[in-house]
């Protein structure tokens, strides 16, 4: 146990050591279905690429860059990347994301489009410079960058426990510099374990291809190649420059010298395996000197075509533990010679590390194979974590995952070579891309890492990511978030509670009596009715009511106390109903019974955003299957789940359903005739298996206008109008409709993922109403 481990252990800071801030950046090129690079412009649906925080382009217009926000766990960063990835691939039209770090079928150099930034010529100029210096094909090499920093509170505590001879800034710098130096030394292991570019398409850079051997019809490779991207012909500077990692000042000085000598044009052009980063990304060298290192960027990670999103969570978890090892591991000498040795070591490992004969040159024991040494280091990681009292079951699994790769000879580079041999380079990678797209499209409604939020909020956040609107979860339990873009902040609760609506607008909608009064004043038809505070007065009015009426308490939950007389009714029944209603509240409503079907009209910003009609749980016969089987089949739909985490609920076959069938003379074993629709419930709630049907394009404009008018009457900008319509084809609204309720917190997911009909993209409509689009 070394000094630092002792301090951590003695002060129970083990778990705090593992806290941190994590971020992932990932590049992937767009391809056509046949595996050719897509040279189309960056899709407009992702908005302005400069302003979208999450989805932008890298060097090439064809190269999508995905950037997660800073998260406080690897898992959250991974989940966020998965969300961005999902949003990107499901929104590409006839294009796919290429699942490999080395490029797909490339056109001639000059046909590869450079990222276009009409509003920022500097960005375009820099890309032109890169394309001249390195060639466009090389710049298309894509990978994953992993950003890490410790929890700042932990660093402060650690500093407080130190002798404090240096400033906190220096203390922090020293920690990150130590990790960086150790990454030079041990980083080969990340290339070894995560490297996944063992073969290159023939259309890649001729001068590289010329050095390589043919692997299949259209591919070339070096024998035992682990990671082409990290190798001699990969994504690297023209020659290896020395950069001093002893102190921030020396690091900055090294880079300033390189820039002065025109070896690189700016600090960003130094392609090192790990980069020192600052809080403010502008003028990074000055920032480093003034404010020190904020976080580290690890850059040697290849895209993994076997992974859904190009990187496995397990590998990222390992990377985190590996960084902790670099932090805890005692520091050794690191002079210019060491620097070049370590770089060379990484290069040769990338080029030919996948051979039993290969030996590392990095380390004292020069004859060690990467396989053996990896196993040693993995054990060391475990030991160090145990030293600080922070080794968990999960860590054990994380390490085991890497050990398995090594022991079973299933490094990604191994596996890819096998697959390419079997299926061909383009087919293997395209199949992977297509398969993961298919899988993701099956469950389009959830947002990874946010499944505890309501579906409506998940939908809004998805729209925010797609459009590059920054968000923060202020209170998870309450689905309370903030949105920010271009300096404009908005707070939103439960997706539809926003600054667009006034407080009193919501209070009006919450109160049925007041809502009716307000709507009536504007000439909107509401069920005729009267409010009673006293049962005797209500009883005396029996003579006034003809035809169907509804008697209900002013406020009611779950429909308690409501009686509906659809037609005639006796004085006795009337009085009984009054008594039932008055049991629930000291004020009741008697309303005319309204005929027709109910439609939920969602209004956003004075426009109809979607119209939905719900029908009770049902199945349609095929003449072969029993009701039970038909229900089971219908329940297979991935839109259906249990517990309100899906747009629809599975149909149950319990007592209520069985009873309802019995009423129709049926059992669940009966086989309905073809096309016969059998209802399993009287009520149409989604929560009891009901279907949601999109009617947005079916309802006549006149009713849409009335719904907008109703929403305007109460001053609402986001509002669910519940309208009864007797005949949706009747263009004369008189006597044909009635508004029964206005809802200030309308569900939006029902309009996005209906049982039948289009996704009405309500998330984006809300963002648009909030003026983010």
Which stretches of the chain bind its own copies, using CB under 8 A? 12, 15, 474-475, 477-478, 480, 490-493, 497-508, 511, 513-514, 517-518, 540, 586-587, 715, 744
CB of 479 to its own copies, least distance (A): 10
Q: Which is nearer to its own copies, 248 or 500 (by Cβ)? A: 500
Contact 607, 696 (CB under 8 A): no
The token pair at 505 is: 């607008």
Q: Which is nearer to its own copies, 361 or 514 (by Cβ)? A: 514
CB of 454 to its own copies, least distance (A): 15
CB of 149 to its own copies, least distance (A): 20
**Burial of 382 (C-beta count, 10 Å sphere; 0-12/13-18/19+):** middle
Q: In three state form, how does the secondary structure of 713-733 look? A: HCCCCEEEEEEEECCCCCCCC
CB of 617 to its own copies, least distance (A): 34
CB of 675 to its own copies, least distance (A): 46
Q: Which is nearer to its own copies, 381 or 506 (by Cβ)? A: 506
CB of 680 to its own copies, least distance (A): 36
Torsion angle of the four alpha carbons 510, 512, 517, 520, in this order, in degrees rounded to the nearest 10: 110
Q: Which is nearer to its own copies, 518 or 680 (by Cβ)? A: 518
Q: Which is nearer to its own copies, 168 or 480 (by Cβ)? A: 480
Angstrom distance (rounded) from CA 161 to CA 4: 10
φ, ψ of residue 11 in degrees (nearest 5): -100, 15
Angstrom distance (rounded) from CA 597 to CA 564: 15
Q: Which is nearer to its own copies, 108 or 475 (by Cβ)? A: 475
Q: Is residue 609 classed as helix, strand or coil in its secondary structure?
A: strand
CB of 768 to its own copies, least distance (A): 17
Contact 80, 68 (CB under 8 A): yes
CB of 17 to its own copies, least distance (A): 13
The token pair at 203 is: 């259309």
Contact 707, 600 (CB under 8 A): no
* Greatest distance between any 2 Cα atoms in the chain: 104
Q: In three state form, how does the secondary structure of 249-318 look? A: HHHHHHHHHHHHCCCCCCHHHCCCCEEEECCCCCCHHHHHHHHCCCEEEEEEEECCCCCCCCCCHHHHHH
Q: Which is nearer to its own copies, 381 or 713 (by Cβ)? A: 713
Long-range CB pairs of 455-458 (<8 Å, 24+ gap) are 455/644, 455/645, 455/646, 455/647, 455/747, 455/749, 456/494, 456/495, 456/496, 456/747, 456/748, 456/749, 457/481, 457/494, 457/495
Angstrom distance (rounded) from CA 754 to CA 648: 8
Q: Which is nearer to its own copies, 86 or 490 (by Cβ)? A: 490
Angstrom distance (rounded) from CA 176 to CA 685: 57
CB of 462 to its own copies, least distance (A): 20
Q: Which is nearer to its own copies, 513 or 677 (by Cβ)? A: 513
CB of 191 to its own copies, least distance (A): 37
CA 20 to chain centre: 20
CB of 544 to its own copies, least distance (A): 8
């Amino acid at each position: 146990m070394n000094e630092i481990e002792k301090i951590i252990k003695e002060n129970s800071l083990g778990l705090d050591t593992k806290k941190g801030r994590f971020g992932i950046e990932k590049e992937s090129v767009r391809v056509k279905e046949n595996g050719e690079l897509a040279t189309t412009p960056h899709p407009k649906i992702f908005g302005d690429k400069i302003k979208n925080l999450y989805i932008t382009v890298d060097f090439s217009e064809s190269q999508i860059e995905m950037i997660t926000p800073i998260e406080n766990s690897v898992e959250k960063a991974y989940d966020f990347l998965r969300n961005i990835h999902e949003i990107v691939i499901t929104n590409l039209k006839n294009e796919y994301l290429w699942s490999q770090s080395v490029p797909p079928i490339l056109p001639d150099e000059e046909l590869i489009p450079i990222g276009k930034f009409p509003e920022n010529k500097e960005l375009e100029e820099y890309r032109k410079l890169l394309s001249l210096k390195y060639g466009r094909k090389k710049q298309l090499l894509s990978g994953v960058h992993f950003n890490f920093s410790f929890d700042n509170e932990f660093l402060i505590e650690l500093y407080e426990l130190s002798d404090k001879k240096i400033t906190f800034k220096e203390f922090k710098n020293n920690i990150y510099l130590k990790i960086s130096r150790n990454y030079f030394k041990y980083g080969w292991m990340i290339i070894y374990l995560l490297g996944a570019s063992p073969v290159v398409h023939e259309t890649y850079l001729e001068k590289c291809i010329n050095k390589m051997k043919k692997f299949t019809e259209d591919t070339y490779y070096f024998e035992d190649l682990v990671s082409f991207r990290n190798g001699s012909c990969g994504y690297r500077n023209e020659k290896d420059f020395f950069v001093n990692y002893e102190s921030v000042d020396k690091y900055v000085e090294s880079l300033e010298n390189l820039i002065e000598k025109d070896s690189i044009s700016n600090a960003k052009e130094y392609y090192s395996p790990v980069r020192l980063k600052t809080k403010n990304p502008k003028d990074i060298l000055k920032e480093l000197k003034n404010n020190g290192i904020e976080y580290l960027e690890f850059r040697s990670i290849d895209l993994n075509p076997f992974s859904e999103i190009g990187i496995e969570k397990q590998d990222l978890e390992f990377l985190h533990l590996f960084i902790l090892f670099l932090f805890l591991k005692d520091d050794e000498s690191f002079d210019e010679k060491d620097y070049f040795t370590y770089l060379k070591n990484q290069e040769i490992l990338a080029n030919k590390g996948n051979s039993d004969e290969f030996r590392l040159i990095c380390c004292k024991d020069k004859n060690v194979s990467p396989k053996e040494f990896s196993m040693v280091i993995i054990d060391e990681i475990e030991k160090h974590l145990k030293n600080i009292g922070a080794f968990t079951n999960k860590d054990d699994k994380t390490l085991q995952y890497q050990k398995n790769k090594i022991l079973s000879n299933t490094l990604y580079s191994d596996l890819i070579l096998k697959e390419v041999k079997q299926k061909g380079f383009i087919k293997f990678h395209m199949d992977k891309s297509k398969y993961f797209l298919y899988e993701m499209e099956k469950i389009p409604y959830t947002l990874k890492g946010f499944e505890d939020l309501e579906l409506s909020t998940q939908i809004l956040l998805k729209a925010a990511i797609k459009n590059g609107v920054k968000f923060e979860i202020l209170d998870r339990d309450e689905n309370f978030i903030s949105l920010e873009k271009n300096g404009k902040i908005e707070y939103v609760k439960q997706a539809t509670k926003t600054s667009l609506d006034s407080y009193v607008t919501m209070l009006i909608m919450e109160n049925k009596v007041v809502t009716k009064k307000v709507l009536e004043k504007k000439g909107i038809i509401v069920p005729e009715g009267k409010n009673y505070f006293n049962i005797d007065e209500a009883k005396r009015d029996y003579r006034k009511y003809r035809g169907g009426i509804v008697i209900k308490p002013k406020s009611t939950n779950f429909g308690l106390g409501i009686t509906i007389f659809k037609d005639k009714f006796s004085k006795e029944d009337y009085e009984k109903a009054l008594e039932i209603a008055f049991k629930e509240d000291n004020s009741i409503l008697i309303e005319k019974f309204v005929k027709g079907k109910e439609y939920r009209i969602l209004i956003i910003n004075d426009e109809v955003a979607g119209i939905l009609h719900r029908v009770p749980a049902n199945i349609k016969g095929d003449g072969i299957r029993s009701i039970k089987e038909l229900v089971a089949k219908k329940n297979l739909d991935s839109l259906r789940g249990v517990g309100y985490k899906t747009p629809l609920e599975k149909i149950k076959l319990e007592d209520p359903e069985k009873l309802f069938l019995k009423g129709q003379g049926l059992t669940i074993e009966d086989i309905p005739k073809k096309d016969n629709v059998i209802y399993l419930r009287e009520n149409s709630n989604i929560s009891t298996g009901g279907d949601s049907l999109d009617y947005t394009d079916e309802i006549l404009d006149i009713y849409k206008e009335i719904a907008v008018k109703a929403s305007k009457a109460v001053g609402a900008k986001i509002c669910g109008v519940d309208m009864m319509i007797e005949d949706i084809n009747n263009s004369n609204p008189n006597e044909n409709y009635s508004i029964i309720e206005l809802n200030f917190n309308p569900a939006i997911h029902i309009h996005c993922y209906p049982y039948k009909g289009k996704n009405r993209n309500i998330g984006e409509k809300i963002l648009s109403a909030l003026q983010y689009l």
